[in-house]
Amino acid sequence: MTTDNGQPTTDNSAERSAKTRQLLGMKGAASGETSIWKIRLQLMKPITWIPLIWGVVCGAASSGEYTWTLENVLKAATCMLLSGPILVGYTQTLNDFYDRDIDAINEPYRPIPSGAISVPQVVMQILVLLFAGLSLSYVLDRWAGHDFPTITCIALGGTFLAYIYSAPPLKLKKNGWLGNYALGASYIALPWWTGHALFGELNATIMILTLFYSLAGLGIAVVNDFKSVEGDRQLGLQSLPVMFGVGTAAWICVLMIDIFQAGIAAYLISIHQNLYAAILILLIIPQITFQDMYFLRDPLKNDVKYQASAQPFLVLGMLVAGLALGHAVY
């Protein structure tokens, strides 16, 4: 297309794409946003809410007691709001607050290092989201009729884990193993426990299995470390790509993802949920294919492409496992 004077029109598609990525909190974002509410949303990284929301669905499935009533739909939606926008929003804002120095190297367009939002405004956002999360978790406990505030305790544990993951002196993310497992458990086990507790009785079997599943989540978390390897190295953060090199870390990542999903499939076979186990194994196969096509060949270039292509199969596998556990128990 051309203008009236014969000059090519400016293609704004790349700019729109960059602004969308900025709003979602994705890699490769644009800078220059001035709306404070869009900046606050960017800090909360909406793209990261999805796994937590899905974890609630898996927990409801594993309870074996979810039924399609209006009240249950409203309960589940409220639980998703808690696990996704509120508590993940708290976690991501807190992480950006403590990572503002490393973001100045790796992602200078992020709101804090770019100066788009002040530090006091960020601190206020963290406190508001924390209070909202703990309050809403107590509401869910009362709504579910719990004598013991199970969901509130999960929320307290999760917010504390988020703090020690990001903040000194512990700053778990300094260690590639501890930090990524904390991240994996936060994305798989904690929302799963919350969804299960909302509709059923949380038990040791579910807790142990989801913590085991979270080791696959550790592998997923490692994928995010490849985009920041240079900044991590400069600031002394011991991510797996820094510790082992890019190639070895990529293999560790994919093996963790595949082996621990296969372990869950083996457990499903042991409790005679053979059909669900077969479906889970079938969902692992395309993940391995995309690992070979994209990630192992160039993890620095293809990390986002790999996540977009392979992770839908992982999250579908989580739901298959949740349905199997709900069917086995009830």
When mean pLDDT is compared over 97-101, 218-222, 281-285, the highest value belongs to 281-285
Cβ–Cβ under 8 Å, residues 54 and 318: yes
Specify whether the CB–CB gap between 326 and 278 falls below 8 A: no
> What would the mean pLDDT of 133-152 be, rounded to a whole number?
98
The pLDDT, as a whole number, for residue 97 is: 96
Residue 225: its pLDDT value, please? 87
Q: Convert 257-272 to b/e letters by CB count within 10 Å (16 or more is b).
A: bbebbeebbebbeeee
Confidence of residue 302 (pLDDT cuts 50, 70, 90): very high
* Alpha helices (H) in 99-203, listed in sequence order: 100-106, 119-144, 150-166, 176-187, 189-199
pLDDT at site 96:
94
Share of the chain above pLDDT 70, in %: 89
Check residue 105 and give its pLDDT: 81
Q: pLDDT band at residue 32, thresholds of 50, 70 and 90?
A: low
Query: What pLDDT is stored for residue 1 in this prediction?
Result: 46
Tokens of 324: 């199997």
CA dihedral sign, ordered 105, 97, 299, 176? positive
Looking at the predicted structure, is the pLDDT value of residue 34 above 60?
A: yes
Confidence label for 124 from pLDDT (cuts 50, 70 and 90): very high
Confidence (pLDDT) at 304? 86
Q: What is the pLDDT of residue 110?
A: 87
Q: Give the per-residue pLDDT at 237.
A: 78
In the chain the first and final C-alpha atoms are separated, in Å, by 62
Q: Could you tell me if 318 and 55 are in contact, meaning their C-beta atoms sit under 8 angstroms apart?
A: yes
Average pLDDT over residues 136-153: 98
CA-based torsion, 320, 311, 208, 93: positive or negative: negative
> pLDDT by residue (tens digit) across 88-110?
999 999 999 998 988 888 788 88
Q: Please check whether residue 76 is in contact with residue 110, taking contact to mean a CB–CB distance below 8 angstroms.
A: no
- Does residue 294 surpass a pLDDT of 60? yes
pLDDT at 236 over 80: no
Distance CA 209, CA 261 (A): 11
- pLDDT 10s digits, 163-195: 999 999 999 988 889 999 999 999 999 999 999
Position 42 pLDDT exceeds 50: yes
Mean of pLDDT over the chain = 90
Range of lowest pLDDT (16-20, 43-47, 95-99)? 16-20
Look at 27-31, 129-133, 209-213, 307-311 and tell me which has the smallest mean pLDDT: 27-31
Q: What is the pLDDT, as a whole number, of residue 264?
A: 98
Q: Which of 244, 219, 215 is nearest to 232 (CA)?
A: 244
Determine the Cα–Cα distance for residues 186 and 86; give it in Å rounded to an integer.
14
Tokens of 53: 């929301």
Segment 274-279 mean pLDDT: 98
Domain 36-329 class in CATH: mainly alpha
Percent residues over pLDDT 90 in the chain: 76
pLDDT given at position 3: 47
Which range of 24-28, 32-36, 244-248, 262-266 scores highest in mean pLDDT? It is 262-266
Q: For the residues 64-82, what does the mean pLDDT come to?
A: 97
**Lowest mean pLDDT: which of 36-40, 104-108, 151-155?**
104-108
- Averaged over 109-124, what is the pLDDT? 93
